[in-house]
Amino acid sequence: MTKANIPAVGIDLGTTYSVVARLDERGQPVTLVNAEGDRLTPSVVLLDGDDVVVGKEAMKAMSSEADRVAECAKRDMGHRAYHRVIGGKQYPPEVIQAWILNKLRSDAVQQIGPFEQAVITVPAYFDEVRRKATQDAGYLAGCEVLDIINEPTAAAVAFGFQHGFLNAAGSADRPRHVLVYDLGGGTFDVTVMEIRGSEFLALATDGDVALGGYDWDQRLLNMAADAFQREHSLDLRTNAVAVGKLWRECEDAKRTLSARPKAPIVAEYQGKVVRLEISREQFEETTQDLLDRTRFTCVQALRAASLEWSDLDHVLLVGGSTRMPMVRAMLQKISGKVPDASMAADEAVAHGAALQAGLILAKSDGRPATFSIRNVNSHSLGVVGTDPQTKRRRNGIVIPRNTPLPVSAKRQFKTAKHDQRSILVQIVEGESPSADDCTSIGRCTVADLPSELPAKSPIDVIFNYQADGRLKVRVQVPQMDRLLETEIVRENGLSKEHLDAWRRHISGQKATEYR
């Protein structure tokens, strides 16, 4: 197969739904349907004995076999294990995500033939640790991850493509400022972008990795479970299967409320039943604080981009939860613009990823680039130091958030004593001055320093944030003129050996726990 025949595939690995898109012969992004004939695949995994079932069938099992079903694993990326025990076992979230990727890829292969390479998207607000975990999930699923790109950026690229900004005529047009509001199932992301013809520049990004449609569902679920408890003095929330069933009811009711003023919810447990009717007003009232959190985050992102609402040309709606009328009304009120819903809310991200895959493949083929992307980092990067007075662990910020990527920054450390042979550098991400409130990326040991270095010799540590938001660390000993690559030892995440063992295991599609 010649390079030009390799399909350009983009995967939106969503918290609740995933989508795969490719570029067709004319370079247009198209969504691929899965084996069930759907464009969206629920990001849900059922472990049925040795079988791994992903998607719609796994989602159905949530109301009967909830204890063997893993959903929203994306929210746990960056943690050691998925937050619940599944079928009596604990799994790393990367592994659950890899099972989903495996299904997405094998369904796509049925239509477009074998491929390994793909661009995978992540929320802009994902930190370095979660990005690494996403790349690892790709590796586990036997994919070659061409790039990790931010979901709002991908959506903006798809928007630019759709509106003709990417052709010669469009690129001569004036710069546009776009706010991408992406409210999905489990994450909220906002990015302020400047589109200068075919250049997509992220100016600022903000978000919440634990806020999405799921939280709206949860509010309805609590309303219904409270009503059930008042009536029958029983808390159905203690039973995973009852919760799984009610959750499906509530999610359904939420969708109905986007189209109609009222929706029924039926709560059932131990043969007892409660029927409720929820109005849109009630729903909006009980979730108002969630919406307010997204509004506040938008205001912060705009401020970080040094823009006013009136500077915006478009407010782009991305993610299934932007179908809720309350979201549109809030954005219209605050921005004074009708939010743009011209793109398929759930497919735009995958389309942008496919465009990026096409760009990377074209470049590797020596063909010219049709557009370019510049991102910013979503979290400040720092090193841990100790406050000499309080002895507290402090976060010394090396690269502040919203810095255009790629970027390098140097930090000088000094050896404490004569003939010191190693230095330990602890790396964190976050805005808090206290290192303990930040996410630990890991530590780097600068070993093999030359012998006989006098005390207080300078050692330069160079942090390089790549365009995909991944970090590389190098060390320079000025006296030696030597540049060393150093490995970051990660506290969370899988080691290379574990990754390889899981990769072999996942390719066999067996759920049996690997030890």
Binding mask 11-40 for Mg ion (x = CB under 5 A): ---x--------------------------
Residue nearer to Mg ion on the CB measure, 7 or 14: 14
Residue nearer to ligand ADP on the CB measure, 251 or 468: 251
Residue 395 touches which member of ligand ADP, Mg ion, none, C-beta under 5-8 Å by kind:
none
Residue nearer to ligand ADP on the CB measure, 186 or 358: 186
* Residue selected from 29, 78, 213, 430 as contacting ligand ADP according to rule CB under 6 A: 213
Residue nearer to ligand ADP on the CB measure, 320 or 493: 320
In three-state secondary structure terms, 409 is strand
Distance of CA 327 to the CA centre of its chain: 21
Phi, psi (rounded to 5 degrees) for 331: -65, -35
**CA 137, 436, 289, 66: dihedral to nearest 10 degrees?**
40
Residue 498 touches which member of Mg ion, ligand ADP, none, C-beta under 5-8 Å by kind:
none
The DSSP line for 193-205 is: EEEETTEEEEEEE
Residue 283 found at the interface with ligand ADP (CB under 6 A):
no
Residue 212 found at the interface with ligand ADP (CB under 6 A):
yes
For residue 199, what are the contacts with CB-CB under 8 A and spacing of at least 6?
371, 372, 374
Residue nearer to Mg ion on the CB measure, 47 or 355: 355
Size of the site for ligand ADP (CB under 6 A): 21
Output the smallest distance, CB 326 to ligand ADP, in A: 10
CB 207 within 8 A of CB 153: no
Residue 324 touches which member of ligand ADP, Mg ion, none, C-beta under 5-8 Å by kind:
ligand ADP
Output the smallest distance, CB 322 to ligand ADP, in A: 8
Binding residues for ligand ADP restricted to 174-193, rule: CB under 6 A: 184-187
Residue 255 touches which member of ligand ADP, Mg ion, none, C-beta under 5-8 Å by kind:
ligand ADP
* Residue selected from 237, 248, 255, 337 as contacting ligand ADP according to rule CB under 6 A: 255
Residue nearer to ligand ADP on the CB measure, 319 or 358: 319
Helix (H) or strand (E) holding 267: strand 262-269
Residue 184 found at the interface with Mg ion (CB under 5 A):
yes
* Residue 306, amino acid: S
What b/e readout covers 413-444, taking b as 16+ CB neighbours within 10 angstroms? bebeeeebeebebbbbbbeeeebeebbbbbbb
Residue 493 touches which member of ligand ADP, Mg ion, none, C-beta under 5-8 Å by kind:
none
Residue 16 touches which member of Mg ion, ligand ADP, none, C-beta under 5-8 Å by kind:
ligand ADP
For residue 455, what are the contacts with CB-CB under 8 A and spacing of at least 6?
415, 416, 417, 418, 420
Binding residues for ligand ADP restricted to 322-351, rule: CB under 6 A: 323-324, 346
Of the ranges 6-14, 217-225, 372-380, 470-478, which one interacts with Mg ion (CB under 5 A)? 6-14
Q: What span, in angstroms and rounded, lies between the C-alpha atoms of 314 and 66?
A: 41
Of the ranges 91-99, 136-144, 197-205, 248-256, which one interacts with ligand ADP (CB under 6 A)? 248-256
Number of Cα atoms under 13 Å in the Cβ half of residue 31: 19
Residue 117 touches which member of ligand ADP, Mg ion, none, C-beta under 5-8 Å by kind:
none
Residue nearer to ligand ADP on the CB measure, 218 or 370: 218
CB atoms within 10 A of CB 151: 30
* Residue selected from 258, 335, 356, 476 as contacting ligand ADP according to rule CB under 6 A: 258
**CA separation, residue 359 to residues 123, 146, 157, 270 (Å):** 20, 11, 12, 56
Output the smallest distance, CB 19 to ligand ADP, in A: 8
Of the ranges 239-247, 252-260, 365-373, 435-443, which one interacts with ligand ADP (CB under 6 A)? 252-260
Residue 197 found at the interface with Mg ion (CB under 5 A):
no
Residue 42 found at the interface with ligand ADP (CB under 6 A):
no
CB 375 within 8 A of CB 150: yes
Among all chains, which residue has been given the structure tokens 């389309």?
351
Please measure the distance between the N-terminal and C-terminal CA atoms of the chain and give it in whole angstroms: 38
Distance of CA 400 to the CA centre of its chain: 20
Binding residues for ligand ADP restricted to 3-32, rule: CB under 6 A: 14-17
213-232 vs 280-304: helix crossing angle, rounded to 10: 150
Helix (H) or strand (E) holding 298: helix 280-304
Considering only CA atoms, which of 7, 23, 4 is closest in space to residue 157? 23
Positions touching ligand ADP (CB under 6 A) are 14-17, 184-187, 212-214, 251, 254-255, 258, 319-321, 323-324, 346
Positions touching Mg ion (CB under 5 A) are 14, 184
